[in-house]
Amino acid sequence: MDAIVLVGGQGLRLRPLTLTRHKSLMPVLGQPAIEHLFDWLDRAGFARAILAVGRFNDDLADAYAGGRPGRLRVEVVRETERLESGGAVRYAVAAADVEGRFAVLNGDVFVDFDFQAMLAQHISRDADLSIALSEVADPWAYGVAVVDPANRILDFVEKPPEGTEPSNLINAGVWIFEAGLTAEIPAGAVRVEETLFPTLVAQGRTVLGYPYRGVWADIGTPARYLELHQALLTRDQLPWWGPKAFVDPAASIEASVLGDGVQVGSGARVANSVLWEEVAIGEHALVQSSILANGVTIGVGATMQDAVIGAGATIAPGVQLPPGSLIDPHTIVGARG
């Protein structure tokens, strides 16, 4: 079975990180996010993953132009205009000769559940469409499904106001399509979540949810990217440090991920943060709930909270960044800002 992986977005909400690296190549526990998805597809028994990339995704397209080692075949199809999920599925099915039933995945999700069980439910109930549903604590931020006790989806509610949500089951970005559905996607750049899916439900077709508990994340915003790492660190009960990370014995690291080649100086404190490769943290610096891209340098005694710092930026010694600072790649933030 084939999986179409949608990765054609621009990742605007993750700027400045995505100014230098595609969202799906951002590290999750030291591996590009998409590699986790490919490993999961491989474990789930897929034969081929079709990476549906857009116009602005050169680094991702280049990374997989020659495929990927291993059992799962990875092929790239390239779009020339913004197609949204519906147009992208239609285009990928035609461009990669997808035949029969197939899966579609949002390329910015982290999932870990038993896909074969979802497929078994889909087949045994003769479904037209199945949607993996993740149970979350904050459903009002997502598309929420109304599901009957037999997992049939009765309705969708997009971002319900807090307290009015019909369930805490959200569209997890993993779908199973029967082959004929491609022809039912309306023409143009449309989102299937807002067109095909509600239409099928309104027609009384068999649209099934597959609720699951377990790690799920959409890494589309800095907050969610950090939350995913917190969840993985809790799940694994282990700190995650890249092979060549060096932490001074007099530094403190709490619930954080340190990429390869990271250096943390004496007296520094790094908490609830993700540091990509080759980040250097000066002595007595304080980094809290922040994401630092590759090659960032933090000067002695600098402090930050909820910061997102682009690749190669430098924060000078003693700088106190305002909470929530977004720093562009290769910027130098001096002692007086």
Q: Name the residues that contact ligand GTP, by CB under 6 A.
A: 6-13, 23, 52, 54, 79, 82-85, 88, 106-108, 220
Q: In Å, how far are 69, 76, 165, 250 from 58, measured between CA atoms?
A: 20, 11, 39, 42
Q: Which is nearer to ligand GTP, 283 or 328 (CB)?
A: 328
Q: How does 112-121 read in b/e, with b if 16+ C-beta sit within 10 Å?
A: bbebeebbeb
Minimum CB separation from ligand GTP for residue 9, in Å? 2
Residue 4 Cβ, how far from ligand GTP at the closest point, in Å? Answer: 8
Closest to ligand GTP by CB, 140 or 246 = 140
CB of 228 to ligand GTP, least distance (A): 14
Q: How far apart are CA 289 and CA 35, in angstroms?
A: 24
Neighbours of 31 (CB within 10 A): 12
Q: Which is nearer to ligand GTP, 159 or 244 (CB)?
A: 159
Name the residue number minimizing CB distance to ligand GTP. Answer: 9
Q: Which is nearer to ligand GTP, 7 or 315 (CB)?
A: 7
Nearer to ligand GTP by Cβ, of 22 and 122: the residue is 22
Q: How far apart are CA 192 and CA 199, in angstroms?
A: 9
Q: How much helix, strand and coil, in percent to the nearest 5, is found in the chain?
A: 25, 30, 45
Residue with Cβ nearer ligand GTP (9 or 282): 9
Smallest gap, in angstroms, from Cβ of residue 102 to ligand GTP? 14
Q: How far is the CB of 53 from ligand GTP (least distance, A)?
A: 6
Give the long-range contacts of residues 223-226, CB within 8 A, separation 24 or more: 225/14, 225/26, 225/274, 225/291, 226/272, 226/273, 226/274, 226/289, 226/291
Check if the beta carbon of residue 255 is closer than 8 Å to that of residue 274: no
Helix boundaries (H) for 152-215? 196-202
* Bridge partners (DSSP) listed for residue 2: 48, 102
Residue 34 or 253 with smaller CB distance to ligand GTP: 34
φ/ψ of 131, rounded to 5, equals: -130, 120
Q: How far is the CB of 101 from ligand GTP (least distance, A)?
A: 20
Write down the least CB distance from residue 195 to ligand GTP, Å.
Answer: 14
Counting every residue written for the chain, the total comes to 337
